[in-house]
Each structure stands twice: as structure tokens, then as C-alpha cells.
Structure 1
């Protein structure tokens, strides 16, 4: 069992790495932060395909939140004003807007500052991919 939540991100993506480093310095979420490439995904209960697709927040109990909800959970854990922002991202209609913005940014992260061709993500969610 985990002692605290874990934020899992794509360590090969310059944009993701820059975003996470900013969050560590400024937001200071209360969690372990690890690139999926170095995480024990089996222990976390996360498929590699999902970790490649979106940022993940894994609770000590093993619940996994992805994408905008993972960001919201990280903000909630930080306390101060960040927790208000995180809480708002968990509730409709902000949750829906956050999901859309997250998907837009994720789909274009290779075009974002610090991004490169290696930052591109698969086109469809892992559960939508055909066998």
C-alpha cells in the first residue's frame, strides 16, 4: 500500500516535465511525483497504455484518477487557494470544461512550449483501442 498519493506523468515529454516541475515549485501538491517510465505501474494498478495517455493521480487506497481529475486532485492536496481551484474542477460544469481543456492540451502537447514530436500521445483512449 502507498503511504501517500502518487502523481504519474510522462517523463519523456518536455511539456509534461516542465508542467510538473512548475507544480512542484509553486503549487506543492502533497504526493510523490514520478514519471511513468520509472514507476512500478503494476504496483500502482495502472496500465502502461493509460499512463502514456494522461497524467494520473493514484491514491493510497489504489483509486486512479486521470487527466483533468488528476490535476484537480493534485490541486486539492496542495491546500491554500489551490484547493479551491481543485474543488471547482471536480464539480460540473467546471469538470466538463476542465476535461475538454485537458484533452485539447494533451492532444497538442507536442506543440506546446518545451514539447517535441516525442510528446505526441496516442490518438484514442486505451479502452477505445481495438484489440
Structure 2
């Protein structure tokens, strides 16, 4: 059984990989990190469709937070100002704004620095984590 949260991200996406690398080096969250392509999604209780749709924060007890809330949990697990930012991102109405920004970034990550056409979400995944 895991004792630390797990961040699951899209390892085939250059933008996502760059963000995770930044987080590990600068934010230093207290979690394990893996690409969904290498994770045992069934054992984690997560569908491939959801893992393709958004980053996931999975607690040791199996609770899954996705998208902006996964980012908020990652930040909250760090120290100092990052933890404060993570806490703020979990509060309404900031949480709602963060969700909108996360979706805009995720839906357009193939257009962002480090993104490639392989980063583009299939149209069927863009608005529904299924």
C-alpha cells in the first residue's frame, strides 16, 4: 500500500512532462510521480479516458482529484508559499476559476511551449473525463 499521494500525468505530452519536471525541481511536492502510461490504472481505480483527460492526484486511501484540484493538492503538499497557493486554489470561487484555466490549458497543450501534436487530446476527451 502506498503511503504517499501519487501524481499521474501524461508522459507522452512534452508540455505535461515539462510541468512535472518543473514541479519536482522547484516546488518539490511530497508525492510520488508517474506517467499514466506506466501506471497500473486499474489498480488505482482510474480509467484511461480520465488519465488522458487530466492530471490526477491519488491519495494513499484511493481518493482521486483531477485537473485543477490535482494541481492544488500538489501545491498544498509542498512547503511555504506553494502550500498557501494550493490551499487558495481549493477555495470557491477560486476553485471554479482554476478549473476553467486548467481546462483551457489542457485542451490547448499541444499549442503551448513543449507541446507537440501528440499532446492534443482527442476531441471526444476535451470536455468530459468520462
2:117 is the alignment partner of 1:117: yes
Given that 2:54 and 2:129 are in contact with CA atoms closer than 8 Å, whether structure 1 keeps it comes out as no
How many angstroms does 1:126 deviate by?
A: 3.3
**Moved runs in structure 1, 4+ residues, more than 3 A?**
none
Structure 1: gaps of 5 or more residues: none
Aligned-partner Cα distance in 2 for 1:12–1:27: 22
CA-atom RMSD, angstroms?
0.8
Aligned-partner Cα distance in 1 for 2:108–2:12: 15
Q: Deviation per CA, 1:97-127: give whole Å up to 9, x if none.
A: 1000000000100000000110011323132
Q: Deviation per CA, 1:28-73: give whole Å up to 9, x if none.
A: 0000000000001112111111000000000000000000000000
SS of 2:62's equivalent? Answer: coil
Aligned-partner Cα distance in 1 for 2:114–2:79: 28
Q: Which residue of 2 aligns with 1:104?
A: 104
Given that 2:23 and 2:29 are in contact with CA atoms closer than 8 Å, whether structure 1 keeps it comes out as yes
Given that 2:7 and 2:32 are in contact with CA atoms closer than 8 Å, whether structure 1 keeps it comes out as yes
Q: TM-score, normalised by structure 2?
A: 0.95
Alignment of 1:48-127 (within 5 A): 48-121=48-121, 122-127=125-130
Structure 2: gaps of 5 or more residues: none
